[in-house]
Amino acid sequence: MIKTKVIGRVFRQDEIADQIYDMWIETELAQGARPGQFVCVYTKNAAALLPRPISICEVNEEKTMLRLVYRTVGTGTNEFATYHAGAEISLLGPLGNGFPVEKAAGKRVFLIGGGIGIPPMLQLSKEIKKAGQAYCELSVLGYRNELFLNTDLEKYSQVYVATEDGSAGTKGTVLDAIKEKGLSGDVIFACGPMPMLRAIKEYAAANNMEAYISLEEHMACGVGACLGCVCKTKNVDAHSHVHNSRICTDGPVYNAEEVEI
């Protein structure tokens, strides 16, 4: 789907956990959006210029709405959190490559999400289930303490939870949960904080598993022009001809083996 900048309309918004907002937006961008892709959201504040990249959490059945679940961390997201149903919201998208759903075929799939990296796992989980080719689908979700989206994910996969404070599920990290529950799989799809992704890359390599990880970086243009959001690559990148790949355009999802994180 061609990238476009559009005005969407907020359908509803709720705070589903402390500082975690859940916003459904009516927009034509829903038509071509794939799991793991993102949209750039623009503020109405002329002093806050740059769009905020936010992952697509879910697309409704009719493909008329996108769901964004995000954490308020600063000027932009604090503004978005004030939007009520009916508010206009400026979006650019759909951006990025998304997760390679076809890699789930015939495999035991692990979906691993950490914190605000959990939202893209929902649409991914739905689509893997819909494709019906995965042998089994497990979601492992890591939180600081308060849970969110876990019940949504339970509709499509078996969910295991880890919390840093031990208030729910395994006390510790997603990898602690995998170990404690004796879980195993063939292919990993993951999104979350960099320490988690590093640990997953190592875990996947040690266990001969494929891992597809979604990275993030500060972005300006969102369309591959400014070269602000690069990650280091193992090999010379086909586009840049150096060891850098543009996360916004060639990512955000990479085979963990191909990136230096």
Partner 1 sequence: MNTKVTIAGVEFKNPVMTASGTFGSGMEYSDFVDLNKLGAVVTKGVANVPWPGNPTPRVAETYGGMLNAIGLQNPGIDVFVERDLAFLKNYDTKVIVNVCGKSVEDYIEVVEKLGDQDNVAMLEINVSCPNVKEGAIAFGQKADALMHITSEIKKKAKQPVIMKLSPNVTDITEMAKAAEAAGADAISLINTITGMKIDINRRKFALANKTGGLSGPAIKPVAVRMVYQAANAVKIPIIGMGGIANAEDALEFIMAGATAVSIGAMNFVNPYTTVETIEGIEAFMKKNQVEDINSLIGCVK
Other Cβ atoms closer than 10 A to 25:
25
- In the complex, the smallest distance separating the C-beta of residue 46 from partner 1, rounded to whole angstroms, is 7
DSSP code at position 93: E
- In the complex, the smallest distance separating the C-beta of residue 239 from partner 1, rounded to whole angstroms, is 8
* DSSP-derived 3-state class of residue 175: helix
Amino acid, res. 21: Y
- In the complex, the smallest distance separating the C-beta of residue 212 from partner 1, rounded to whole angstroms, is 21
What is the Cα–Cα distance from 33 to 66, expressed in whole angstroms? Answer: 8
- In the complex, the smallest distance separating the C-beta of residue 88 from partner 1, rounded to whole angstroms, is 15
Nearer to partner 1, 139 or 249 (CB): 249
Amino acid, res. 3: K
- In the complex, the smallest distance separating the C-beta of residue 216 from partner 1, rounded to whole angstroms, is 11
Containing 164, the helix (H) or strand (E) segment is: none
Amino acid, res. 103: K
Residues 93 and 40 sit within 8 Å (Cβ to Cβ): yes
Nearer to partner 1, 54 or 231 (CB): 231
Using CB under 8 A, list all residues that contact partner 1.
2-5, 42, 46-51, 92, 217-231, 239-244, 249
What is the Cα–Cα distance from 148 to 150, expressed in whole angstroms? Answer: 5
Nearer to partner 1, 129 or 243 (CB): 243
Nearer to partner 1, 124 or 230 (CB): 230
Other Cβ atoms closer than 10 A to 31:
13
- In the complex, the smallest distance separating the C-beta of residue 153 from partner 1, rounded to whole angstroms, is 31
Nearer to partner 1, 76 or 117 (CB): 76
Nearer to partner 1, 91 or 178 (CB): 91
Structure tokens, 232: 């280091």
Count Cα neighbours of 112 within 13 Å in the Cβ-side half-sphere. 33
